Amino acid sequence: MKYLILSDLHSNTEALEAVLGDARRRGFDRVACMGDLVGYGAEPNAVVERVRSLDDAAVIRGNHDKVAGGLESGEQFNFVAGLAARWTQSALSSDNLSYLRSLPRGPLAVDGSFWLAHGTPLDEDAYILNDFDALEAFNGFPEDLCFFGHSHIPTIFSLSDDEGLVLQAPVADEARLALKPGVRYLINPGSVGQPRDRNPKAAYAVYDAATRMLDLYRVGYDIEAAQRKILAANLPHFLADRLRLGA
């Protein structure tokens, strides 16, 4: 089974369609998504509906889905994130709001192959940014592979008796990793809709559970179109600017 691994779509239809098109050419069987379908971008309904249209997708909620869905107040959000969350909530159809509210919280096991978490397997709102965060997060799931999101930065942490904790931050537009037996992994494929690693291209991964091969990809998309929609919706200019920077 080949899985298309997606995270942090953030209401960016242009990025999501580019990723789905690129991934379809490469081939996959099932989608797994670590949440934040909405927030920041201008097309929450289109993105939610596209995810809902994906056959048998495994999807968990992100912190933005939780706030836009009305399950949490968002008082912990910064000013721009809070403003975007309120705009998103008012823009979403009641059907799509119900869908966001119904999404399970991670960690979620998928087909006995791997786990999904938004922030960390222990706390959906917390970040895995450094070795300390990663070591703690490895306590949050059994078995050897968990995909996470939230930081919007492609990151591979591995943990084994032989090598201890190792961090890899892939920077190329294509990177391949053969998962080794006896090694545990925490992997962030990066963000589809709002990359923050100074590479503005949309990020995603494909994981082949049969061969245990992981491929990380970056794909260009129509950033200007996404920016125009953000400005037309009167969302903060900053949210359009950062797409160009990948920051």
The token duo for 189 is: 């494929």
Closer by beta carbon to Zn ion, 3 or else 40: 40
Q: Who contacts 182 (Cβ-Cβ below 8 Å, separation ≥6)? A: 160, 161, 162
Closest approach of Zn ion to the CB of residue 25, in Å? 26
Q: β-strand 114-116 against 174-178: which pairing, if any?
A: unpaired
Site size toward Zn ion (CB under 5 A) is 2
Q: CA 93 to CA 79: how far, in whole Å?
A: 24
Burial class of residue 61 in the structure, from the number of CB atoms within 10 Å of its CB (0-12 exposed, 13-18 middle, 19+ buried)? buried
Closest approach of Zn ion to the CB of residue 161, in Å? 33
Does residue 215 bind Zn ion (CB under 5 A)? no
Does residue 36 bind Zn ion (CB under 5 A)? yes
Q: CA 56 to CA 178: how far, in whole Å?
A: 26
Residue 233 C-beta-side C-alpha neighbours within 13 Å: 26
Closest approach of Zn ion to the CB of residue 78, in Å? 13
Does residue 124 bind Zn ion (CB under 5 A)? no
Closest approach of Zn ion to the CB of residue 11, in Å? 11
Does residue 197 bind Zn ion (CB under 5 A)? no
When binding is defined by CB under 5 A, the residue of 8, 14, 65, 144 that contacts Zn ion is 8
Binding site for Zn ion (CB under 5 A): 8, 36
